[in-house]
Structure 1
Amino acid sequence: MVSARIHLVDRQYRFVILGLLLVAGCVSYIDRTAIGVANLAIAHDFGLSFTQLGLILSSFAWAYMVCQIPAGILADRFSARFLIFASLMIWGVAQLLSGVASSAGMILVSRALLGIGEAPLFLAGTKVITQWFNARERGTPISLFNASSSLGQVLAPLLLGFVASRWGWHAMFVVLGLLSFVVAVGWISLHRPPPLAAVPARKQPFHFRRTLSQPVSWVLAGGFIGVIYLQWLYASWLPSYLQSNWHISIERASYLSALPQFFGFLGGIYGGPLIDRRTAKNIPPIKACHRPLVYALFLASLTTILAPFCQNLPEVIIMMSAALFFCGLASTCGWTLGTVVSAPETVATVEAIQNIGGSFGGVIAPIVTGGILARSGSYPLAMGTAGAIAALSAAIYGLGIKAARRS
């Protein structure tokens, strides 16, 4: 009786753990997309061109990408409690540095430090979910954790646009740094390890080279490039696109930017129940993730290409909302796919390899977009390029997973 009660408490407490991860994921994306709200103001204050601004916007993704493999190995080998706490503290310091920045170089360094700090979060968090939830329960928790990133992108323009328009972008970053410290204290205080029943009885040896050499790992990486490229396109440039092309204030642009991001959040949430329903129909877990992923990424590509050709602002917002809905759905399916094609002891490392591809997309999205805008001023060309990259990534997923499974 006592054992059953303890088991029930453990099953209930896993939702506390999931809630903590959702808060951390949301704050992480508020932090990483904050610069998109203030990028024109920062460019004005430091006299930056679109190309220079694009390089600064990409500095986070460079650092994030380089740290993925080390972060994945750490997440597979060490306690998530202290790894996520350290992650939160580092990125809190990074945001405070942005808040006191007196040069573009300081912004670049602080953004890189933010990338280092945030690198372990989604890897360690996914590992935690696989420890608390079994394979048939995992789709919805992973979708919620993944969607917390989109929720952060919803809240960022709403909250930060208000702060930046009244007290300036320096204050915005200081507030975010303090918020990260609060979340870090909450995590270290409330986290506890999973019950013994949820931990594999015998730990398998860790083979990094074998994981790295598996074709499926690199299919995941190549496919995720397009998903994150699209997310970074909208996170970095959507507010400034609305300001520049539709001649509206930073505050109004921030509010309007939140609507497409909200649909990205809905798409991310929808992915989990969709996968779970397909799995419940005895569709193999890989197929349950794979087909929706390919379709969603193609649709995100198409709507991104069409968006800048809409004739009025409401149509643009609707088309971009559709694009981010499908992008959120693709992201959840891709992230869940990584957990079902990997062994339990290598989940974080496989996700890290996938995230290298995603981070590369995050690196090149602001640089390519900034370069196109600097040379041609053409948002249709910039968004068409993004759509083409996403379509190529969908093809990599569509053909590559099948080929990798046959090999």
Structure 2
Amino acid sequence: MKNRRIFVYVFLFSLTSINYIDRVALSVAAQPIAHEFGISPVQMGFLLSSFIWTYFASLIVWGLALDRWGTRYVNAAGMAIFSLATVATGFAWSYASILVTRLVMGAGEASSYPAGGKVIREWMPARERGIAAATLNSGSYAGPAIGALLVAFAVQLFGWRTGFIIVGSSGAIWLVFWLRYFRKPEQASFIGEEERAYILRERNGGAPEHNTGPVLSIGDMLKSGSIWGLLITQGFGSYAQFLFLTWLPSYLQTERHLDIVKSGYFTALPYALSVLLALAIGKMSDRLLSPDACRKGGRRNMVAFSMLLTSIVLVTPFVDDVWLMVAVFTLSLTGAQAALAMNIALIGDLLPSSAEAGRGTGLLITGGASFAMIAPIATGYVVSITHSYNNAFYIAGVLAIAGALVAVLMTRTPIRRDTASAPVGEVSVSA
């Protein structure tokens, strides 16, 4: 049997890569933009987090739209919106105009993870869901690695405006291929009948999907203790992720005294290395878990391990050597990336069918975004008040340890129609 679904992996990886290339552009160009418009650290913290406000508000809306109209056109609309908004940032004339383009960008980018989660639930056999989720989330680290270098060189050579125009235009290429080739596995022409049958048979671990009765609503899901565990874990992991995403280049420039190009390089290197390591963790989770263990939430243990790896960021203030710092950032980023990816796979494991995957993933990422939008602002205040990044790293590390505990204790019960009404916080003894 040929594995043509590899093309779906490519779509998932490139989707989030482009998404995060667009996000990191402002982080890399923050200093010249702040200089041109006279922006303070606190104001920059709000600007860096602004896209997350509309991102947060739009996630569930996109999830519901995906469950109703499917991933092909809904995901394409999201890509078009955030790519155009990124290009528009290059034509901004004031702090307020950049704020508007970032808000529009955030609303469009909110489509990507709900779409990716639904594609994984529709396309991937249960035993591949870990590596598929890791591939999706790896784009969120490859994107900053590529974007940090690309924007840094563009800013150095042509100015910050050109950097936004270049990275924003990359979405057009992706759109052409997505609309030309992507369909659900039931209709996709690039896979053979044997592979199609395998996907449809194994995407629920060989067990029948629970498609009878009404689809779980958002309200139904919120009655599950497992959902709350997933949301909290996603939030705590996202805090660390967005601390790095929004402030790492500035930290390297101000605390480590690196120029824009060198800060771009030392931002890109940990992100690039963490992509490979997180993919290995995703593959390991698939090898260690049987389909039955997946359905019972066994992947939570890998989530907890990854969150503990994230907490290594706590040692950053005690590291002087730049290469040791790269190692610390690489391990912490690997943990955050793997934890968030395994959480996406975990909600797919626990949901009864692919019919709820869009709204379920949208709800999950909403939990992440709730803390993600706090991280840049909180860090801005911490830096402004203490004139140091140390406490910012401590906050991220403590939240990561708390997230590991939540993952182990609260994500133990499958999200079923017969258990959705269980009291929040109920803990099952299933494996």
TM-score if structure 2 supplies the norm length? 0.87
Q: Which residue does the alignment assign to 1:222?
A: 232
Superposed counterparts of 1:355-374, under 5 Å: 355-374=365-384
Q: Which residue does the alignment assign to 1:129?
A: 120
Distance in 2 (CA, whole Å) between partners of 1:178 and 1:284 is: 39
The residue type equivalent to 2:324 in the other structure is E
Distance in 1 (CA, whole Å) between partners of 2:292 and 2:273 is: 29
Superposed counterparts of 1:268-287, under 5 Å: 268-280=278-290, 283-287=293-297
SS of corresponding position for 2:126: coil
Q: Which residue does the alignment assign to 1:254?
A: 264
Runs of 4+ in 1 over 6 A off after TM superposition: none
Structure 1: stretches of 5+ with no match in the other structure: 1-7
Aligned residue among 189, 193, 205 for 2:214: 205
Q: Which residue does the alignment assign to 2:141?
A: 150
Q: Which residue does the alignment assign to 1:406?
A: 428
2:299 is the alignment partner of 1:289: yes
Deviation (angstroms), 1:389: 2.0
Q: Deviations over 1:331-383 (max 9, x none)?
A: 22111111111122212212111111110121001000001001111111111
Q: Which residue does the alignment assign to 1:378?
A: 388
The residue type equivalent to 1:68 in the other structure is L
Structure 2: stretches of 5+ with no match in the other structure: 188-196, 201-208, 413-424
Aligned residue among 77, 85, 109 for 2:68: 77
Asked if 2 retains the 8 angstrom alpha-carbon contact of 1:309 and 1:380, the reply is no
Distance in 2 (CA, whole Å) between partners of 1:309 and 1:90 is: 42
Distance in 2 (CA, whole Å) between partners of 1:284 and 1:138 is: 9
Q: Which residue does the alignment assign to 1:175?
A: 166
Asked if 1 retains the 8 angstrom alpha-carbon contact of 2:211 and 2:352, the reply is no
Aligned residue among 275, 278, 292 for 1:265: 275
Asked if 1 retains the 8 angstrom alpha-carbon contact of 2:113 and 2:362, the reply is no
Q: Which residue does the alignment assign to 2:421?
A: none
Q: Which residue does the alignment assign to 2:29?
A: 38
The residue type equivalent to 2:230 in the other structure is L
Structure 1, 202-211 or 333-342: larger mean CA deviation: 202-211
TM-score if structure 1 supplies the norm length? 0.92
The residue type equivalent to 1:270 in the other structure is A
2:45 is the alignment partner of 1:54: yes
The residue type equivalent to 2:316 in the other structure is A
SS of corresponding position for 1:138: helix
Q: Which residue does the alignment assign to 1:231?
A: 241
Distance in 1 (CA, whole Å) between partners of 2:408 and 2:11 is: 34
The residue type equivalent to 2:221 in the other structure is T
Asked if 2 retains the 8 angstrom alpha-carbon contact of 1:294 and 1:330, the reply is yes
Deviation (angstroms), 1:398: 2.3
Deviation (angstroms), 1:12: 4.0
Deviation (angstroms), 1:395: 2.2
Asked if 1 retains the 8 angstrom alpha-carbon contact of 2:37 and 2:94, the reply is yes
The residue type equivalent to 2:332 in the other structure is A
2:341 is the alignment partner of 1:332: yes
Q: Which residue does the alignment assign to 2:326?
A: 317
Q: Which residue does the alignment assign to 1:89?
A: 80
Distance in 2 (CA, whole Å) between partners of 1:361 and 1:201 is: 32
Q: Which residue does the alignment assign to 2:91?
A: 100
2:352 is the alignment partner of 1:343: yes
Q: Which residue does the alignment assign to 1:392?
A: 402
Deviation (angstroms), 1:286: 4.5
Aligned residue among 10, 19, 22 for 1:19: 10
Structure 1, 92-101 or 15-24: larger mean CA deviation: 15-24
Distance 1:287 1:346, change over 3 A: closer
Deviation (angstroms), 1:186: 2.0
Structure 1, 72-81 or 283-292: larger mean CA deviation: 283-292
Asked if 2 retains the 8 angstrom alpha-carbon contact of 1:285 and 1:340, the reply is yes
Q: Deviations over 1:106-157 (max 9, x none)?
A: 1111111111111111211221222222212322222212212111121111
The root-mean-square deviation of aligned C-alpha atoms, in Å, is 2.0
Structure 1, 67-76 or 274-283: larger mean CA deviation: 274-283
Choose between structure 1 and 2: higher helix proportion.
Answer: 1
Q: Deviations over 1:227-282 (max 9, x none)?
A: 11111111111111111112111100100111111232123312321111111497
Distance 1:335 1:256, change over 3 A: same
Structure 1, 375-384 or 189-198: larger mean CA deviation: 189-198
Q: Deviations over 1:50-103 (max 9, x none)?
A: 111000111111111111111111111212110111111101111121110011
Distance in 1 (CA, whole Å) between partners of 2:317 and 2:122 is: 43
The residue type equivalent to 1:191 in the other structure is F
Asked if 2 retains the 8 angstrom alpha-carbon contact of 1:292 and 1:333, the reply is yes
Distance in 2 (CA, whole Å) between partners of 1:203 and 1:143 is: 30
SS of corresponding position for 2:320: coil
Number of residue pairs matched by the alignment: 397
Aligned residue among 194, 205, 210 for 2:185: 194
Distance in 2 (CA, whole Å) between partners of 1:68 and 1:147 is: 20
Structure 1, 267-276 or 234-243: larger mean CA deviation: 267-276
